[in-house]
Amino acid sequence: MPRIPIGDAVESGIQFLLDRLGGLFDVVSAALTRLVDTVYAILVAPHPLLLIAVLSAVAWFAGRRLPLVVFTVLAFLLVASMQLWVQTMQTLAVVIVAAVIAVAIGVPLGVWAASSGRASVITRPVLDFMQTLPVFVYLIPAVFLFGIGVVPGVVATTVFAVPPAVRLTELGIRQVDSEVVEAAVAFGSRPRQVLREVQLPLALPSIMAGVNQVIMMALSMVVIAGMVGAQGLGAVVVQGITQLDIGSGFEGGLAVVILAIYLDRVTAALGSGGFKRRRAQGGGTVDLALPKQVADVS
């Protein structure tokens, strides 16, 4: 059977992009580097104890659960005691930047897919391909286009984390009760008003579940990105593997687990507990989403 040179075509395409758009990639690389450095500077500016207090306050605001606050305090004190505070903040900075970009891309795509059957058909195989492609493969074109360092890690992490945001946004909007949407339209709401005031608020739990998955996938990819020069806990784990330093590798992995549990619990609480409390305070399930005239009828 003759060989189909798919790899050669991909390599030629990447080389074409470098030849034609090399300046653009340099600009993107500089912007991402500045953004990550800014977020990192904000995270390391306060004393670790002060930032732990802030993280604990966020945990309390998200879930109103004392065990989560206690875990936050003890877990991040453990991270600081292992002398991994700087690396943890480097990883957190990359996760924040990559997750924000992935959500900013994924949520609009999910809205588009939910509002258009053709768009849904187009995006579904693309998302399937993105989710099944081995994570290491994302790093290859990113390294060729942006070089070694934190930028290919951010780019690969962002691309890897986009699919859940698209899928769960589309799912949440499609699951909104059609009668509620029809009622809003009947009272004169324009399509954008229906989307902004009805569909998105009612789809918020699903969208927040997508945000949760984006953050988890970004965190898993950031560790792998340590293999291409990205700083943070991924570099600590990679160094532990290459130098057969079991203790250092285990400590880096434990810090990753702590960060993952914190981000997972906080985002999950924001998407479920906080939303339910707002619904309860509003006195119903429709008041928060429908335009005023529809809510009054409901």
pLDDT in tens, the chain (298 residues): 777 777 778 778 888 888 887 788 888 888 988 999 999 999 999 999 999 999 999 999 888 889 999 999 999 999 999 999 999 999 999 999 999 999 999 999 999 888 888 888 988 888 888 888 887 777 888 888 887 888 888 888 888 889 999 999 988 888 888 888 888 878 777 878 888 888 888 888 888 888 888 988 888 887 777 777 778 888 888 888 888 888 888 998 899 999 999 999 898 888 775 545 444 444 444 343 444 444 444 4
* 74 in a structural domain: yes
Contacts of 277 (CB under 8 A, 6+ apart): 64
Q: How far apart are CA 290 and CA 198, in angstroms?
A: 5
* 179 in a structural domain: yes
* 1 in a structural domain: no
Q: How far apart are CA 135 and CA 229, in angstroms?
A: 16
* 147 in a structural domain: yes
Q: Domain range spanning residue 182?
A: 6-297
Burial of residue 125, with CB atoms counted within 10 A of its CB: 0-12 exposed, 13-18 middle, 19 or more buried: exposed
> In this structure, what DSSP letter does residue 196 have?
I
* 255 in a structural domain: yes
Q: How far apart are CA 165 and CA 170, in angstroms?
A: 8
The pTM (predicted TM-score) of the whole model is 0.82
* 283 in a structural domain: yes
150: domain CATH number?
A: 1.10.3720.10
Residues in the chain: 298
The tally of domains found in the chain comes to 1
Burial of residue 53, with CB atoms counted within 10 A of its CB: 0-12 exposed, 13-18 middle, 19 or more buried: middle
* 190 in a structural domain: yes
* 269 in a structural domain: yes
